[in-house]
Chain A
Amino acid sequence: MALQNSFMAPLIRENPVTFHVLGICAALAITNSLTSSLIMSVAMTTVLVISNAAISLIRKHLPASVRIIVQITIIASAVTVIDQLLTAFMPATARTLSVYISLIVTNCIVLGRAEACAMKHGVGTSILDALGNGFGYSIILVIVATIRELFGNGSLMGYRILELTRDGGWFQPNEMLLLPPSAFFIIGFMVWVIRSWKPEQREKPEFEPIPLPTEEER
């Protein structure tokens, strides 16, 4: 049950993007194309699994004083190796993702899972947790990318689905969807939907709003 939970929980209920609101930077930048989002999802999940497994393996020998720097070293190495593999075997995709693969190092989800899970649990649990968070991240990326590419460009994974007016078709694309801010709206909308469905996720207000002074008090 506990094992199953570490995989299932991050998919939707404790999704890293919509619940923890982590890893937003790349989610905004690369979700204008479904292909890049899928590659990014695979890269991200792989890095998560490698870093969680490695950190969990050596967690009992990690002095608290240097643990963050060791975690970052491991994460950065995994990312660099994956970046090199992509440029060698998928050069075209690597070019479109450019700097965002290297930026996985700074993606808070990876370090967050290392600290929150891998430092405290065994290898098996950590890998399941990494897979769960990787898939949770991927689900959001794929949904956002599908909306953005389909309605922004009328295509999916580069295949034309809706004929654009500029090519003589009927579909007038919403070009704003191709720009990063649109992902903000889509992710915000998803957070709202999930929190309406699961009200326990709503954050407690940090303070009571001060009531406006009445006429007499003014």
Chain B
Amino acid sequence: MNNDSPMKAFLVVLVVALVCSSLVSAAVVILRPIQLNNQLLDQSRNIMQLTGLLPADVEIQDDELLQLFKNLDSRIVDIDAAAFDDSLDPYTFDKRRAANNPELSVAIPAQLDTTGLGRRSRFSPAFLVWQDDDFERIILPMRGNGMWSTLYGYIALESDLSTIAAAVFYEQNETPGLGDQVTRPDWLAQWQGRQLYDDQGEIRFAVAGGRVDPDSSSAAFEVDALTGATVTADAVTGLVHYWFGPHGFQPFLDRLREERLDQPIPGEDS
């Protein structure tokens, strides 16, 4: 057939499109389970590291990690109602999709939006750590705009719901060598033992402007600055202030402090 006839052009495009689309679809379908498993492993590792339940210095096997993660008491918090919501499944709830869904999200009032998100999901996952019968830690997610990217992290609070037990940023695309220092383990280790709130219940946690002066009155609330990354550091302060402030988890945490938490009965928890 003549190469320049319209029929030939049509046929060539059709065949190429068919071959290419089957290749792409096959790749997506075959690799999907592996990718989902990677995501789940990643999430389990990030959260389990904050529980304090992982053995130190021992490399944990993937299936062991997943088992531990499945045994964790995970729930959904209705942020605006300041209460747990048992009707949602914490394992299938997608907090990123929810933040873009008008029915599942709320606009953030501009004067409270210290982290530039615009909207947030009405619901959030929460992970609770129990030691024997005592409530020990709660792990809550946080996110916010950094210099170039959205920072995603988790924070673990001790049972007084103000002392930070651990924190992590598991996804960011800040400047390598500067803003991406938010993932430095030695810097994140400083978060441990810092207070979110002062005695009046005001949120005081902040990334300092330089090294934290241990004698200053705010030393209990501050971690060291990140060299050369003022914008990212301020963004971290902003996002913690939002998520643990009055429009974030603060009402929920206040209520938890007053009410006794019930440990789920093993086996009943899905």
Residues of A within 8 A of B (CB): 32-33, 58, 60-66, 69-70, 73-74, 76-77, 80-81, 84-85, 87-89, 91, 95-96, 98, 152-153, 166, 173, 175, 178-179
Contact (Cβ within 8 A) A87 B16? no
Contact (Cβ within 8 A) A81 B23? yes
Contact (Cβ within 8 A) A98 B173? yes
Question: CA of A153 to CA of B16 in the docked complex: distance in angstroms?
Answer: 46
Question: CA of A169 to CA of B93 in the docked complex: distance in angstroms?
Answer: 46
Question: Is B38 at the interface (CB under 8 A from chain A)?
Answer: yes
Chain B at the A interface: SS class = helix
Contact (Cβ within 8 A) A74 B20? yes
Using A69-B13, A70-B16, A175-B228 as known contacts, say yes or no to A85 and B175 having CB atoms under 8 A apart. no
Interface residues of B in 144-201 (CB under 8 A from A): 171, 173, 175-178
Chain A at the B interface: SS class = helix
**New A-B pairs, 8, CB < 8 Å, besides A84-B31, A91-B35, A179-B175:** A32-B176, A77-B21, A87-B31, A88-B31, A88-B38, A152-B177, A175-B178, A178-B175
Distance (Å) between the CB of A185 and the closest chain B CB? 17
- Report chain A residues within 8 Å CB of B31: 84-85, 87-88
Interface size range of chain B in the complex: 20 to 34
Question: Is B100 at the interface (CB under 8 A from chain A)?
Answer: no
- Which residue of chain A is the closest to B23 with respect to CB atoms? A77
**Which of B5, B12, B24, B35 is the one whose CB lies under 8 Å from A70?**
B12
Contact (Cβ within 8 A) A80 B27? yes
**Which of A33, A60, A73, A175 is the one whose CB lies under 8 Å from B16?**
A73
- Report chain A residues within 8 Å CB of B228: 175
- Report chain B residues within 8 Å CB of A32: 176-177
- Report chain B residues within 8 Å CB of A58: 12, 16
Can you list 14 A-B pairs, Cβ within 8 angstroms, ordered by A?
Answer: A33-B176, A61-B12, A62-B3, A66-B12, A73-B20, A74-B20, A77-B21, A84-B27, A87-B31, A88-B35, A89-B34, A91-B42, A152-B177, A175-B177
